[in-house]
A and B are shown apart, each in its own frame.
Chain A
């Protein structure tokens, strides 16, 4: 925290935003075969991306249920990211189709609970797309910084 403050004083940006964005918690549910590989690629290539994301590896995006997303928000996540294989590339044939249909109902329900739509994001990222994983994380982190921490009502 001390380091952060010093950093912000030097650069003279908005203290609050920097403090807040470093405390942001992102839960990332990544599919074992593609997006987790993508994150691995980004790591091996030493790409810098926001360290706020806590990655949970799942075998397939098709095994992610809406309840998992809700649980993450309830436990204090400010944003939830889901990564899966590109359509047609699913290791289990059709898991990502199932997830894509489920994600729509998650969006609908989150809206009802006053959680901004932007706090939940899903993306198809293959194991070779380290760059895409990095940029997605940066974008997502930026969006969440603007929204600030989530206050559940």
Chain B
């Protein structure tokens, strides 16, 4: 594990990128050299609230994926698994994306040798609809005029077309029920250390990206991009490394505080009673990969007459299948038409499982979750 500061040598990318364009440059290097067949990244569609996962095979198209989109939370782990498993791909991944990819690698659904993961440090994402509303309410700007947004030093910052910026403290937004998604508020994995490299601006000076190199593949990536003349690097000073550590520490501490507050508030029984068994949470879950073969589709569990379904035979079964591997990506919350805090319940059980076994989904080293392991040990 080592640290470098990097920025793009290409002026266009440098300008378009969030902080120095290092990530876009590395992706461009991978595509140009033919190391990967394509790149899966997020590009905006109509505005900054509308992020579309895009598979880019031509490095000229990479420019539209540059920049970060906090208001467009998408999960790419299951996209790789469903559609790109037979290709060599490079993906950009938030910590929860990376955790999902790691869990899918454990389940042999993604080939580790076929995937390059450029990790992105993440302080949280904002739901698009609430994001628009919040900008309307708390800022003097029109949500449609926002050209880019950024989360930095505890503030949610928006930038308008004329270059002016406006910032509001995230804490104040969240007090009013806006701000980051609830699963992001309690997320305590801020740096994707299972990715080949983890990039971010914490600790970096302006115009540079701070990169943590996590493995040999990541080192090769940086060396290659440098050799190709697209990336400029320097080693960070000690205060920069300390600064980054401090930011991460503060974020994790805040998350733990919110966890303690949030877990006891959930009342599963009342929540499950709203369920209309649409199966959306199952279908969107990156860890649930069985699809047609899902146990819930089996005749002995299929229950189409009763709404709400019996919680224990519906959610109970799902919980027993994958709650120990829940990466708390919050997709299930996003899709639930009845606003059931699904991820909160699954995440709570993951934490319970952690207390028993020390296994953190998609973060812990070792080949398998203890539940799958052939080891002759009791818990």
Which residues on A are within 8 Å of B, measured CB to CB? Answer: 65-67, 70-71, 73-74, 87, 94, 97, 100-102, 104-106, 108-109, 112-115, 152-153
10 contacts between A and B (CB under 8 A): A65-B320, A74-B313, A101-B370, A105-B323, A109-B349, A112-B319, A113-B268, A113-B312, A113-B316, A152-B312
* Total A-B Cβ pairs within 8 A: 71
Within 8 A of A (CB), among B55-79: none
Q: Contact at A109–B378, with CB atoms within 8 Å?
A: no
Asked whether any CB of chain A lies closer than 8 Å to the CB of B366, the reply is no
Asked whether any CB of chain A lies closer than 8 Å to the CB of B375, the reply is yes
B377 to chain A: which residues have CB within 8 Å?
A: 97
Give CA–CA (A32, B111) in the complex, Å: 39
Give CA–CA (A72, B349) in the complex, Å: 22
Q: Contact at B312–A74, with CB atoms within 8 Å?
A: yes
Q: How many residues of B contact A (CB 8 A)?
A: 31
Give CA–CA (A106, B321) in the complex, Å: 11
Q: Contact at A73–B376, with CB atoms within 8 Å?
A: no
Q: Contact at A108–B312, with CB atoms within 8 Å?
A: no
Q: Contact at B310–A67, with CB atoms within 8 Å?
A: no
Residue of A nearest to B355 (CB): A108
Among the listed A74, A100, A112, A115, which residue makes an inter-chain contact with B379, where contact means beta carbons less than 8 Å apart? A100
Which 5 A/B pairs are nearest by Cβ-Cβ distance? A66-B320, A74-B313, A70-B316, A153-B269, A67-B317
Least Cβ distance of A91 to chain B in Å? Answer: 14
Among the listed A71, A94, A97, A114, which residue makes an inter-chain contact with B313, where contact means beta carbons less than 8 Å apart? A71
Give CA–CA (A106, B379) in the complex, Å: 13
Point out which of A71, A87, A105, A106 has the most chain B C-beta atoms below 10 A from its C-beta.
Answer: A105
Least Cβ distance of B273 to chain A in Å? Answer: 8
Give CA–CA (A3, B223) in the complex, Å: 86
